[in-house]
């Protein structure tokens, strides 16, 4: 059946029994396909029935679906004509792992980061009204994404509007009690139906002429619904609330969505789903199966940089009770799972709230504590004002452990840490370090912990080739290190670019410097080498514009040094998706790229 679905119009020809079969086919296909390509497994298994019901009731692209984060939209891709391209998912030149406007007219809004869907869908809904369009705007947001402050800003605006907006709250952190499931279904069907809505609007309109009775009737209705439905928060924000219903029950989903399609006020449907639904191992451990690597990817025994950070946290917290670790909902990804178990009183997961995480850390720092904010480079962008205004301006002793810096691979542009050096370097009171291996990273965190200022340590996704990295050693602030003595050409390498620089340097007979610091630069060493070499090269896994190489260029200009400098880094465009090494090769961030720059 699945192979006959080339557009959403095809599923509208199916009956409920066929839709159930289709859901199982999609589930089987996703399990098999994601094992080959890698990707988000558990979230997509949990949203199959919901997505089928949405496409059965609504008509994209005339109606707009805005998936929050977008990592649960694989079924949506399959139903909108991309089945035959799913084998290219997350690969170079293939389908994105998220929704992407340039990929399909059915992807009404691009995604990748959390908590953006309600704002975007509200914009689309109000735009529809301005353009006199009857198109429906539907936001799909998970309970996790609802912890983001932007979601509440959007809910506040939506409730104060008359936009034709439907919000589907996909709640996968609760279970449905079987003994009240039937009642929930009945109540939701009842209050989402036309008879109830018409009676409610006409009766309240009549009662408005009698203010005291009107207020009494309104409160009575709220209290009655409040006894059986968790609607208070959303109703107070001005949205009509419906649910909760079973998000795997296709007939109920379809009938409820059909009812809600007829309404035009801001409204919220609360559905309950189970992450990993239909695959027992994923249901039992949805965190482990949230994102999976391709089956062909050989497991490495080398430590990941996230693991190194987690080890440092545990070892340091054993001796220092003032260490406080903070994560905006990325405990496992940032390597903090063991720390959470071992030091629960020193650990804070604040949810998807990067802005709060940063300012919260600032408050802790004023009380003599040593907060470490573990955050992906791409998510640090979301807390930029807080970093400037609340941390750096006050020169507070907060450490930022910036994971996934540089090119992240198959997640693509939405998750690439391509800009952190550029947007961090311009901020006063900031020290920026970039380790080239696991041991150096450990040394840098030792140094940062003993330093009472704002320090950023940025490191990549992936593994280090050093297994024995635990040390008590520190490094000198602002000092680079020559790791290969040569002549004519000097290569300034930042972070994990050191490995390629060393390989190229050996072939060129060049001097190679592990810069270690982006801010402050080791100015004395740069000036010395610029005076004794005829060609300079810098290499970084960050945007060339305003990056580390730009810092070297600015220094040479200030000192009136005219030694030619070639800056290797990421071009002025958003990165593609693909394996990390594929992308390094694409952008010339490799041994060959350095040699070509030296000879040009």
| β-pair type (454-458, 430-433) | parallel
Q: Euclidean distance between the first and final Cα of the chain, in Å?
A: 57
CB 347 within 8 A of CB 314: no
Is 338 considered catalytic here? no
Give the 3-state secondary structure of residue 79.
Answer: helix
131 secondary structure, DSSP code: T
Using alpha carbons only, what angle is made at residue 325 by residues 319 and 328, rounded to the nearest 5 degrees? 170
Using alpha carbons only, what angle is made at residue 328 by residues 327 and 330, rounded to the nearest 5 degrees? 70
From the list 185, 267, 274, 382, the catalytic residue is: 382
At residue 449, φ and ψ (nearest 5 deg) are: -65, -25
Distance (Å) of CA 478 to CA 262, 372, 432, 470? 64, 21, 9, 22
Q: Tell me the two tokens of residue 121.
A: 């869908």
The C-alpha atoms of residue 447 and residue 374 are separated, in whole angstroms, by 17
At residue 507, φ and ψ (nearest 5 deg) are: -75, -30
Count of helices and strands (H, E) across the chain: 25, 17
Q: Of 458, 559, 454, 447, which Cα lies nearest the Cα of 518?
A: 458
The C-alpha atoms of residue 416 and residue 408 are separated, in whole angstroms, by 5
Give the 3-state secondary structure of residue 435.
Answer: coil
From the list 49, 354, 540, 591, the catalytic residue is: 354
Is 235 considered catalytic here? no
From the list 275, 370, 404, 516, the catalytic residue is: 275
Is 275 considered catalytic here? yes
Q: In what order do the strands lie in the sheet with 565-570?
A: 481-484, 511-514, 489-493, 535-543, 565-570
Return the active site residues.
275, 354, 382
């Amino acid at each position: 059946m699945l192979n006959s679905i080339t557009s959403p119009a095809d599923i509208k020809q199916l009956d409920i029994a066929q839709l159930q079969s289709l859901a199982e086919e999609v589930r089987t296909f996703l399990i098999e396909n994601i094992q080959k390509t890698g990707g988000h497994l558990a979230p997509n298994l949990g949203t199959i029935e919901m997505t089928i019901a949405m496409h059965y009731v609504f008509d994209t692209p005339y109606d707009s679906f805005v998936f929050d984060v977008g990592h649960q939209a694989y079924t949506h891709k399959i139903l909108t004509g991309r089945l035959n391209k799913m084998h290219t998912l997350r690969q170079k030149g293939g389908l994105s792992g998220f929704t992407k406007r340039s990929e399909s007219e059915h992807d009404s809004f691009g995604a990748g980061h959390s908590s953006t869907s309600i704002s975007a869908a509200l914009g689309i809904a109000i735009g529809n009204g301005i353009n006199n369009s009857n198109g429906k705007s539907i936001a799909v947001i998970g309970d996790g994404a609802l912890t983001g402050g932007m979601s509440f800003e959007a809910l506040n605006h939506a409730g104060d509007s008359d936009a034709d907006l439907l919000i589907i709250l996909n709640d996968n952190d609760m279970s449905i009690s079987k003994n009240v499931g039937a009642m929930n279904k009945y109540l939701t069907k009842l209050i989402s139906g036309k008879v109830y809505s018409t009676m409610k609007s006409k009766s309240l309109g009549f009662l408005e002429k009698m203010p005291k009775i009107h207020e009494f009737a309104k409160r009575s209705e709220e209290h009655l619904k409040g006894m059986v439905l968790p609607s208070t928060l959303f109703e107070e924000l001005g949205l009509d609330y419906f649910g909760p219903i079973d998000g795997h029950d296709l007939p109920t989903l379809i009938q409820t969505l059909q009812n809600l399609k007829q309404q035009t006020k801001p409204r919220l449907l609360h559905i309950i789903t189970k992450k990993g639904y239909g695959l027992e191992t994923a249901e039992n451990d949805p965190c482990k199966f949230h994102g999976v690597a391709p089956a062909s990817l050989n497991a490495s025994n080398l430590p990941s940089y996230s693991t190194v950070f987690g080890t440092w946290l545990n070892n340091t917290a054993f001796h220092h009770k003032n260490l406080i670790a903070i994560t905006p909902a990325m405990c496992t990804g940032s390597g903090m799972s063991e720390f959470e178990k071992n030091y629960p009183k020193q650990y804070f997961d604040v949810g998807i709230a990067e802005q709060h995480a940063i300012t919260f850390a600032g408050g802790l720092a004023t009380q003599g504590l040593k907060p470490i904010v573990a955050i992906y480079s791409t998510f640090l962008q979301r807390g930029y004002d807080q970093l400037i205004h609340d941390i750096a301006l006050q020169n507070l002793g907060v450490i930022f452990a910036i994971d996934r810096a540089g090119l992240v691979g198959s997640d693509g542009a939405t998750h690439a840490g391509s800009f952190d050096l550029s947007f961090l370097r311009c901020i006063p009171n900031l020290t920026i370090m970039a380790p080239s291996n696991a041991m150096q990273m450990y040394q840098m965190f030792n140094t940062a912990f003993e330093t009472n200022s704002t320090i950023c340590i940025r490191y990549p996704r992936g593994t280090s080739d050093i297994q024995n990295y635990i040390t008590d050693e520190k490094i000198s602030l602002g000092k680079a290190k020559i790791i290969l003595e040569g002549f004519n050409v000097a290569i300034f390498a930042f972070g994990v670019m050191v490995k390629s620089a060393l390989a190229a340097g050996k072939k060129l007979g060049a001097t190679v410097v592990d810069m270690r610091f982006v801010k402050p630069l080791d100015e004395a060493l740069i000036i010395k080498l610029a005076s004794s070499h005829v060609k300079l090269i810098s290499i970084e896994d960050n945007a060339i514009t305003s990056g580390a190489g730009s810092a070297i260029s600015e220094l040479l200009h200030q000192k009136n040094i005219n030694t030619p400098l070639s800056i290797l880094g990421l071009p002025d465009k958003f990165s593609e998706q693909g394996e990390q090494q594929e992308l390094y090769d694409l952008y010339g961030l490799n041994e060959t790229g350095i040699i070509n720059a030296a000879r040009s």
